[in-house]
């Protein structure tokens, strides 16, 4: 029998219409991201074209145009 790995230390409850719909066990970094109330977008359709190359960490997003801009290299 395989040994079970312990769950990550942070537990986040997802609540929709005042009902707990799921609980996510995660690490501190992802918990902090979720708790900062980010804008979450489904970019699945953009993965099949050039847009994906601009959707990287530290890219900027313009909500008026829905355009991602790749960060400048440092």
CA distance 14 to 74: 37
Which ranges in the chain belong to alpha helices (H)? 28-35
How far is C-alpha 28 from the geometric centre of its chain's CA atoms? Answer: 13
User: Do residues 51 and 72 share a domain?
Assistant: yes
Total count of domains within the chain: 2
Q: Name the phi and psi angles at 47, rounded to 5.
A: -75, -15
1 located within any domain? no
Read off the pLDDT of residues 10-59 as tens digits, 9 standing for 90 and up.
999 999 999 999 999 999 999 999 999 999 999 888 766 655 678 888 99
Reported pTM = 0.73
* Assigned token pair, 57: 């960490």
User: Do residues 30 and 50 share a domain?
Assistant: no
Domain that holds residue 33: 8-38
The residues with which 14 forms a beta bridge, in sequence order, are 22
26 located within any domain? yes
59 located within any domain? yes
User: Do residues 73 and 45 share a domain?
Assistant: yes
Asked whether the predicted pLDDT for residue 73 surpasses 80, the reply is no
């Amino acid at each position: 029998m395989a040994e079970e790995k312990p769950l990550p230390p942070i537990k986040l409850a997802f609540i929709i219409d005042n009902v707990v719909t799921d609980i996510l066990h995660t690490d501190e970094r992802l918990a902090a991201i979720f708790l900062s109330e980010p804008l979450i977008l489904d970019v699945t359709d953009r993965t099949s074209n050039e847009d994906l190359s601009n959707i990287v960490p530290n890219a900027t997003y313009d909500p008026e145009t829905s355009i991602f801009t790749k960060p400048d290299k440092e």
